[in-house]
Amino acid sequence: MLETTVEVRADDVRLIGTLCQPDNDGPYPAALLLSGSGPLDRDSNIPGQRLDVSKALAEGLAARGVASLRYDKRGVGESGGDFVTATFSDETADASNALNVLRAIPETNGRVAVIGHSVGATIAMRLARNSGPPDAYVFLAGAAVPGGTVMAWQSRRIASTLPAPWRWFGGTLERRQARDRERLLASTGATLRLRRQEQPAAWLREFMTYDPAGDLAAVAGPVLAITGLADLQVDPADVMAIGRLVTGPFTGETPDHLTHLLRIDHHAPSLGRYTNQLLRPVEPSLVDRVASWTSLHLC
């Protein structure tokens, strides 16, 4: 496996990423890797939280003969720009530019999949309308409904999993988060201070009102959608909803005990389990499933 630095230009912003190539001679099929929400670097990490999703997928893909590109988001790691003022459209444009860059790299053969996790899956759906759309799609914990609906579902789901002594607080939590969403939707600036933290208001307004149904209907290439039954942040039922919307060949899976962090956890679903889950790597069988499916549909 060989890793080299790649630059993606997005308007006046310079994004830096990593091209990961298999050991065998190219040119190779390739995959664009898109991380979830938040100021994540090219490996899907933030300080104090190592998801390593994109890194694990890149290694798994290389072992199957597929190159990949992953990059630091705006204002993160080596990339320029400002994360908190970037919009949902900016993030989509960055992914579109990265897809075009990946296709043009001499070591790749022009056959490209897009693999997105969480919000990265939503961004991947939007690439179906790219002037040169992906040849295949993998949606990991991807939602089929507007972002505001996703966030409301998260609130209800997380509240229902609170430990017994705190369950009475669930309703209060849901109402508080609903008020926060209303404030964000009513805001007009690039940022909004909520609960002592500066939030990317412009990004959130776009995300909450974006409905992926139209873009999913434009997805004509093969699709693999996987959301675990232990996911607290995306409804596993959305897997079948994605299958009803796309027009290309579809495979949908909802593995037992797979969490939003793409780890297997046999305990009752709980945010309190996240720290423990991050002590383990991304589920190896999931990485191999994604890598083997991608290789099959690109080679």
- Dump pLDDT digits (tens) for 241-254: 999 999 999 999 99
Ordered by start, the domain boundaries in the chain are 2-145+211-298, 147-210
pLDDT band at 229, cuts 50/70/90? very high
The arrangement of secondary structure in 2-145+211-298, i.e. its CATH architecture, is 3-Layer(aba) Sandwich (3.40)
Q: What angle do CA 28, 30, 33 make, to 5 degrees?
A: 155
> Is pLDDT of 102 > 80?
yes
pLDDT (0 to 100) of residue 179: 93
pLDDT (0 to 100) of residue 170: 57
For residue 95, which phi and psi values (nearest 5 degrees)?
A: -65, -40
pLDDT, mean over the chain:
94
Q: C-alpha distances in angstroms, 120 versus 36, 170, 191? A: 5, 28, 21
Do 221 and 137 touch, CB atoms closer than 8 A? yes
Pair of tokens at residue 137: 């799609």
Distance CA 144, CA 200 (A): 22
Query: What percentage of the chain exceeds 70 in pLDDT?
Result: 97
> Is pLDDT of 183 > 60?
yes
- Please tell me which residue, 48 or 173, carries the higher pLDDT value: 48
pLDDT (0 to 100) of residue 166: 58
* pLDDT tens per residue across span 115-167: 999 999 999 999 999 888 999 999 999 999 999 999 999 999 988 887 766 56
Helix (H) or strand (E) holding 253: strand 250-253
For residue 2, which phi and psi values (nearest 5 degrees)?
A: -120, 135
